[in-house]
Amino acid sequence: MQIVELAPAKINLWLRVLGKRPDGYHQVETVLQTISFADMLTLTAEAGGIALTCSDPRLPCNEHNLAYRAAALLAREAPGRGVHIHLEKRIPWRAGLGGGSSDAAAVLRGLNQLWGLNWSWQQLLPLAQALGADVPFFLQGGTGIGRGRGDELEMLPVRPDLALVLIQPPFGLSTPKVYSDWQPPDARPPAGDLSDLTLALQQSDTQALGLLLHNDLEEPAFRLAPELATVRQKLSQAGFPCLLSGSGACLFAVVPGKSNEPAVRWLHKARQLLPASYRASLVRTRF
């Protein structure tokens, strides 16, 4: 038996860092949104043991990979079951898009079905929390607010239909380094609050949303990679509401309107503004 699972990337439409916690993590308040850019995992049932292969030879295929660790965690609940996982890697590393966390959630979902466990989301949730702060969100995907370390979830009953230009620089950023360089704000204050953002998402109001985008990690990320600030400024001046996703290094821009034709025109416009080594692609919100 074989199952194929997509592992969608996410963007952070809003990210506030509220301080450092006693456990060493940071207290955050963030709005997460899955998008139509995804890794693909093929899970094939085997007699026993866990094997992981990957299209990207730079990625470890052992317990240092979150997809492998997710399988190992669930295997404790399914003695004698085994799986071969092939990961077709499309989401870049150190991008702020949650690729590793989404892979782990996809493995939990896929193995739950492949091994006939039929666990509910609530039963899978503790395993997801043990794997990482973003993994619980990816079990369902859609739109959600993350608090605490990001793993205290409130899923939002909205389905925004948004086109986005996703901008990938030729480098990544280390999440621990970006967070360690964070300082309590001198950062620009948000233009609104979460209720304003939720309303804009509910209405798929790209104009209002563009004014509300906020990320407290931009300042430390831009100190580590100043060229990202230049790219962001260029895009913003050209009419793209633009933001860093998570701790970076990917940026995204909200495209006005909903139809594909103007979105493609905006994509071409963005590509003209970017350095040659950067990639831009058109994506949509995903549920």
Q: Which pLDDT tens digit goes with each residue over 13-25?
A: 999 999 888 887 8
Once rounded to an integer, what is the mean pLDDT over residues 73-100? 95
Give yes or no for residue 95 having a pLDDT over 90. Answer: yes
Do 127 and 204 lie in one domain? The reply is no
- Residue-number span of the structural domain to which 170 is assigned: 163-284
Identify whether 134 is a catalytic site residue.
Answer: yes
Determine the Cα–Cα distance for residues 143 and 271; give it in Å rounded to an integer: 28
Name the domain boundary from 117, 138, 155: 155
Q: What percent of the chain clears pLDDT 90, i.e. is strictly above it? A: 80
Do 34 and 112 lie in one domain? The reply is yes
Choosing from 10, 89, 103, 216, the catalytic residue is 10
Identify whether 151 is a catalytic site residue.
Answer: no
Choosing from 39, 134, 151, 216, the catalytic residue is 134
Determine the Cα–Cα distance for residues 194 and 263; give it in Å rounded to an integer: 26
Do 118 and 199 lie in one domain? The reply is no
Do 102 and 181 lie in one domain? The reply is no
Do 76 and 193 lie in one domain? The reply is no
Q: What percent of the chain clears pLDDT 70, i.e. is strictly above it? A: 98
> Average pLDDT, whole number, for the chain?
93
pTM: 0.94
Residue 116 to residues 24, 47, 109, 172, 192: CA-CA distances in angstroms? 38, 14, 11, 38, 46
Name the domain boundary from 121, 155, 189: 155
Do 150 and 169 lie in one domain? The reply is no
Name the domain boundary from 109, 125, 155: 155
Do 30 and 120 lie in one domain? The reply is yes
Report the candidate in 266, 212, 199, 140 with the shortest Cα–Cα distance to residue 283: 266
Report the number of distinct structural domains present in the chain: 2
Do 95 and 169 lie in one domain? The reply is no
Do 113 and 41 lie in one domain? The reply is yes
